[in-house]
Chain A
Amino acid sequence: MTTIIDLMAGVMSRYGLITAFAIVGITVWVSYQLSARFTKRKLHGSAIAIMLGLLAAYFGGVVTGGSRGVADLEVLAGIGLMGGGMLRDFAIIATAFGVNTKELKRAGTSGIVSLFVGVFVSFAIGAGVAYAFGYTDAVSMTTIGAGAATYIVGPVTGAAIGASSDVMALSIAAGLIKSMLVMAGTPFVAPLIGLNNPRSAMIYGGLMGTTSGVAGGLAATDERLVPYGAMTATFYTGLGALLGPSVIFVVIRAIMG
């Protein structure tokens, strides 16, 4: 019996990416069944699938002690490849095929405005929360603020201005919370904030900035909105990494004296 299981596990890890296709396919199918039977399709199948994914990531992390969710289980390592940056970005770019260029131009200005507003607001909130929790030096406040922007801006900024490693970890955790909340929560807030057209999707992407969060959240809401939100969100991390260690750090240092 064990040899059969070993054999199976061997096949699954050797054909990692193929295993990922099969497992994700089953997950999506189950999610659409749940959506139809228990929510009358009110909650998208893709939203359920993403939440199941996050849940699985949590258990994967608990079981393995690793940092890549279920992908740290040897037999499911292919999930990490399938959901990794390379294929994710490739698929995101493909969604741009067939976008409405008129909408893109019309929303251009508000998209750019939302990027700057999004970066500054997130830094301000993160820095404020850091202060409230007793991190009153400019370096820690800026680094935690950077984490509230995205979990990539956090460590990039922290490294540039010399933050301690525990502050850096805190900043990454803040960014991860944001990303996962956006992934799972977008379909629920979408009706409240008018997130149902290309323009508001571009603004949403610019304000939130977490590419993975926005990409997942919009997919769970209405996949036709994905290219618009992803377009602005992909500029956010660059902008945050540019402004964080420079302008924003200088401003926070000036305020804190």
Chain B
Amino acid sequence: MVIYGVALLAGCMLVGAFIGQLIGVMIGIDANVGGVGISMLLLILVAAKGQASGRLDPISQKGITFWSAIYIPVVVAMAASQNAVAAVRGGAAAVVAGVLAVVVSCALVPVLSRIGGEPSPPLPDPPSEQGS
């Protein structure tokens, strides 16, 4: 059933968010620390187990892959609800700080990519542009 996949995804998110909040409380900040990342790791582990045991059948998996595929539209909606006016009106100091932080961080990507062995090969070309 499709709902099993959706429920599994929801469960991972709730547990991850709980752990993230717990870490936040433990280190004394009122924020969710890495909750999404923890949820992602949980989903990877649980889904792999489920697939191996056959409990997470292809139909249940659709409950997860749907949300994965709806990700880009969600991001478009996110972009459309940003506070773009505040960003533009922040003034020169805000623009310079934001832009410089991005430029320097970008320049560091190739440097850090060399840590831990040879650079990874690029992903193969996708089969079709519009995807799933």
A83–B120 touching, CB < 8 Å = no
Question: What total of chain B residues lie within 8 Å of the partner, measured CB to CB?
Answer: 85
Question: SS class of chain A's interface: helix, strand, loop or mixed?
Answer: helix
- Chain B residues in 8 Å Cβ range of A97: 9, 43-44, 47, 61, 64-65, 68
A172 neighbours in B (Cβ, 8 Å): 86, 90
Residues of B within 8 A of A54 (CB): 79-80, 82, 84
The answer to whether A180 touches B84, judged by C-beta atoms less than 8 angstroms apart, is yes
Residues 147-179 of A, flagged 1 when their CB comes within 8 A of B and 0 if not, give 111001000100000000000011111111111
Partner-A contacts on B (CB < 8 A): 9-10, 12-13, 16, 20, 23-24, 27, 29-37, 39-41, 43-44, 47-48, 61, 64-68, 70-102, 104-110, 112-113, 115-117, 119-123, 126, 129-131
Give CA–CA (A200, B77) in the complex, Å: 26
Q: Does B40 lie within 8 Å of A227, measured CB to CB?
A: yes
Q: When chains A and B are docked, how far (Å) is the Cα of A114 from the Cα of B92? A: 28
* Chain A residues within an 8 Å CB radius of B20: 238
Among A24, A173, A183, which residue has its beta carbon within 8 angstroms of that of B94?
A173
Q: Are A94 and B67 in contact (CB under 8 A)?
A: yes
Give the distance in Å from the alpha carbon of A95 to the alpha carbon of B66 in the complex: 10
25 residue pairs A–B, Cβ–Cβ below 8 Å: A24-B77, A32-B129, A41-B129, A57-B81, A69-B81, A83-B75, A93-B13, A93-B16, A96-B44, A101-B44, A104-B44, A107-B116, A113-B112, A114-B108, A148-B98, A177-B98, A178-B102, A196-B123, A207-B106, A212-B82, A219-B75, A222-B123, A224-B126, A234-B35, A234-B36
Which of B71, B98, B106, B116 is in CB contact (< 8 Å) with A223? B71
- A50: B residues at CB distance < 8 A: 75-76, 79
Where chain B touches its partner, the secondary structure class is: helix
- Answer whether A113 and B115 are a contact pair too, CB < 8 Å, given A173-B94, A180-B82, A238-B34: yes
Contact A199 B120 (CB under 8 A): yes
5 closest cross-chain pairs (CB), A and B: A173-B90, A177-B98, A53-B79, A83-B77, A238-B33
Contacts A45-B129, A79-B80, A97-B65; A207 near B98 (Cβ below 8 A): no
Q: Give the nearest-CB partner of A101 in chain B.
A: B44
Q: Nearest B residue to A205 by beta-carbon distance?
A: B37
A187 within 8 A of B: no
| One of A4-12, A60-68, A249-257 contacting the partner | A60-68
> How many Å lie between the Cα of A200 and that of B87 in the bound state?
28
* Contact across chains for A194 and B82 when beta carbons are under 8 A apart: no
When distances are taken between beta carbons in the complex, the residues of chain B under 8 Å from A133 are 92-93, 96
- Which residues of chain A come closer than 8 Å to B27, judged between CB atoms? 242
B32 touches A170 (CB 8 A): no
**How many Å lie between the Cα of A82 and that of B127 in the bound state?**
28
**What is the CA–CA distance of A92 and B64 in the complex, to the nearest angstrom?**
11
Residues of B within 8 A of A200 (CB): 109-110, 113, 119-120
- Which listed residue, B16, B93, B115, B119, touches A174 by the CB 8 Å rule? B93
Query: Which of A76, A94, A101, A121 has most B Cβ within 10 Å?
Result: A94
Q: Are B87 and A177 closer than 8 Å at their CB atoms?
A: yes
Q: Is the CB of B97 within 8 A of A144?
A: yes
- A125 surroundings in chain B (CB, below 8 A): 97, 100-101, 104
**In the assembly, what is the distance between CA of A69 and CA of B98, in Å?**
20
B contact residues around A211 at 8 Å (CB): 36
Are B9 and A93 touching (Cβ within 8 A)?
A: yes
Question: Which chain B residues lie closer than 8 Å to A90 at the CB level?
Answer: 9-10, 13, 67
User: A18 contacts the other chain (Cβ, under 8 Å)?
Assistant: no
Q: Which residues of B contact A32 (CB under 8 A)?
A: 129-130
